[in-house]
């Protein structure tokens, strides 16, 4: 089986969104969810968790399936809606940011998205 993400390369999808008074950061391919009091904090915590996840996978020389998990259907549905149209972010004010991060950028990516 061919995997999108390997220990050497790939990318992961992320979404930063608000539910009630809490901001959440989700990394879909790793099934990581972090929460924060601001969207920037949620992103920072998600980024740190994803960095640690990739570093640990590389350290133990893990099989690629742990970098290519099936995400929760709720997050896949939200991702699909966000991909549906350019103006979806405006229609979904609870979403702060979403996109893809290259696995190699996780080592150096410490700043929050604009």
> What is the domain count for the chain?
1
Residue 91 in 3-state DSSP? Answer: helix
Q: Which long-range contacts (CB under 8 A, 24 or more apart) does 56-63 make?
A: 57/7, 58/7, 61/7, 62/7
Instruction: Please give the model's pTM, rounded to 2 decimal places.
Output: 0.85
> Is residue 111 included in any domain, yes or no?
no
> Is residue 22 included in any domain, yes or no?
yes
Out of 44-53, 84-93, 102-111, least confident range: 84-93
Is residue 19 exposed (0-12), middle (13-18) or buried (19+ Cβ within 10 Å)? exposed
Query: What pLDDT band is residue 99 in, cutting at 50, 70 and 90?
Result: very high
What confidence score (pLDDT) does residue 107 get? 60
21 pLDDT more than 80:
yes
- Say if residues 33 and 25 touch (Cβ distance below 8 Å): yes
> Is residue 43 included in any domain, yes or no?
yes
What confidence score (pLDDT) does residue 112 get? 47
- Say if residues 28 and 12 touch (Cβ distance below 8 Å): yes
Q: Can you give the residue range of the structural domain that contains 55?
A: 11-106
68 pLDDT more than 60:
yes
> Is residue 114 included in any domain, yes or no?
no
């Amino acid at each position: 089986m061919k995997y999108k993400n390997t220990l050497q390369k790939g990318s992961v999808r992320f979404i930063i969104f608000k539910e009630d008074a809490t901001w959440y950061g989700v990394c879909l391919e790793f099934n990581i969810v972090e929460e924060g009091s601001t969207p920037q904090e949620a992103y920072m915590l998600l980024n740190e968790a994803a960095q640690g996840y990739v570093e640990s996978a590389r350290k133990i020389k893990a099989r690629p399936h742990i970098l290519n998990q099936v995400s929760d259907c709720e997050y896949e549905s939200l991702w699909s809606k966000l991909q549906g149209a350019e103006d979806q972010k405006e229609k979904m004010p609870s979403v702060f940011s979403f996109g893809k991060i290259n696995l190699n950028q996780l080592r150096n990516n410490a700043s929050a998205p604009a």
